[in-house]
Each structure stands twice: as C-alpha cells, then as structure tokens.
C-alpha cells in the first residue's frame, strides 16, 4: 500500500470557474450556499454518496498498480472499515483522512487527530468547510487583553496574472522588435 486518502464529492461535476471566452477568468459564485442555516429541510445540496476512501496499491514484483475506491454509505457520519490489520502503514493515512475529512475507520487502533489541534472543530478538507472565519482576534493595548471582533477584511479570489516583458500583444510590438533587431545588428 503506497497511499490512502479521503475524497469529498460534494460539488463533483460542477465547475467553479467560468472560462467563457478567455483562458483565465475570475471564480464564479456557487448557486448553492454552504451555510446550513440558509437551507430548508427540503433542499438538498448533494445527492448520492459524498465521501470516498481511495487506496493505491503497488506490486513491486510485477510493477503494476491498483486503485481501490470505496464510498461511505452515510453522508452525515461516514464510516469505512480500517485496513490497518492488512497494512500497518495505513495507520497514519487513516488518521489523516479522519482528521481532515471526518471519515471514521471502524477497527482502527488509535483514531485521533494528527494535523489539527485537539480542540479544533470541523474537518478542513471538506468542501463545505468555511474559508474565512466569522471573528478575528487582536490584542488591545488600552484594555490589556485579547479582543474578538467581526472579520474586517474582504475575501478575494486569486487569479494568476501573467506579466510579459516582450510586448508581444501591443500594437507597436513589431516596430519595437524591429528596432531592437536593427540595433543589435549595428
């Protein structure tokens, strides 16, 4: 066993990018909200099996690879049988999938958080995990204590920006390139 990981299929098949006519575009807002308080009980964000566990196996003798994928039956409380009895190296990977996705592994000898703090609530690799918090904290010199306030920064979408120094897309690019070529020849 070379790898075991969790997968969240919450928004599977839905594009987060509106490509349109350009090669890069701003991220578009989703049509549904991740905030459960805004959903009615009749509304369903996702239908089907949401969580999966993927195991990658390698045969060194035959130089062949196999990918095993199993889906969790319950989206509210995802559970899969542990494979630590078969591959002891799965211990760390299963703890990581539990910590980051919230997938429980029945029969695991020591299932506890591995990357986040013990008091941390939620699972950060789930697609419905909030990207920004609701409060921020800072130390106030006047009150001589830590103060909690609503978040004051606006979230932003980062889009890669390509800066080209060769002026290939300007109207005068041919003239500038020709002039530099002529200078190089002289």
Question: DSSP readout, 16-56?
Answer: SB--TTSSS-PBPPPSS-S-GGGS-SS--S--S--EEEEEE
Q: How many residues does the chain have?
A: 186
Phi, psi (deg, nearest 5) at residue 121: -105, 135
- Residue 109: per-residue pLDDT: 94
The residue with tokens 């760390």 is 92
* Gap between the Cα atoms of 19 and 22, Å rounded: 6
CB under 8 Å to 17, separation ≥6 — which residues?
Answer: 25, 27, 28
103: number of Cβ within 10 Å: 25
- Residue 30: per-residue pLDDT: 45
Q: Which residues of 126-138 are buried (b: 16+ CB within 10 A; e: fewer)?
A: bebeeeeeeeeee
The burial of 174, by beta-carbon neighbours within 10 Å (0-12 exposed, 13-18 middle, 19 or more buried), is given as exposed
- Residue 24: per-residue pLDDT: 43
Phi, psi (deg, nearest 5) at residue 40: -80, 165
- Residue 116: per-residue pLDDT: 84
- Residue 155: per-residue pLDDT: 63
- Series of mean pLDDT values for 10-residue runs along the chain (186 residues): 95 64 44 46 64 96 97 95 96 96 96 84 86 78 88 68 67 53 52
* pTM confidence score: 0.60
Cβ pair 114, 95 in contact under 8 A: yes
**Helix, coil or strand: residue 90:** helix
Cβ pair 81, 2 in contact under 8 A: no
* Gap between the Cα atoms of 161 and 23, Å rounded: 11
């Amino acid at each position: 066993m070379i790898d075991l990981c969790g997968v969240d299929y919450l928004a599977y098949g839905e594009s987060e990018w509106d490509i349109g006519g350009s090669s890069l575009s701003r991220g578009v807002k989703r049509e549904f909200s991740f905030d459960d308080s805004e959903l009615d009980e009749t509304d369903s964000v996702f239908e089907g099996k949401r969580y999966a566990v993927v195991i990658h196996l390698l045969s060194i003798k035959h130089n062949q690879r196999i990918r095993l994928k199993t889906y969790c039956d319950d989206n509210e409380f995802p559970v899969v049988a542990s494979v630590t009895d078969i591959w002891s190296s799965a211990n760390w990977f299963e703890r990581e999938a539990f910590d980051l996705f919230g997938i429980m592994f029945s029969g695991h000898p020591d299932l506890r958080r591995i990357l986040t703090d013990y008091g941390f609530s939620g699972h950060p690799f789930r697609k419905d995990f909030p990207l920004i918090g609701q409060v921020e904290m800072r130390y106030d010199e006047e009150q001589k204590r830590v103060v909690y306030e609503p978040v004051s920064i606006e979230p932003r979408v980062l889009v890669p920006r390509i800066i080209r120094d060769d002026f290939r897309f300007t109207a005068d690019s041919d003239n500038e390139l020709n002039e530099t070529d002529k200078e190089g020849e002289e």
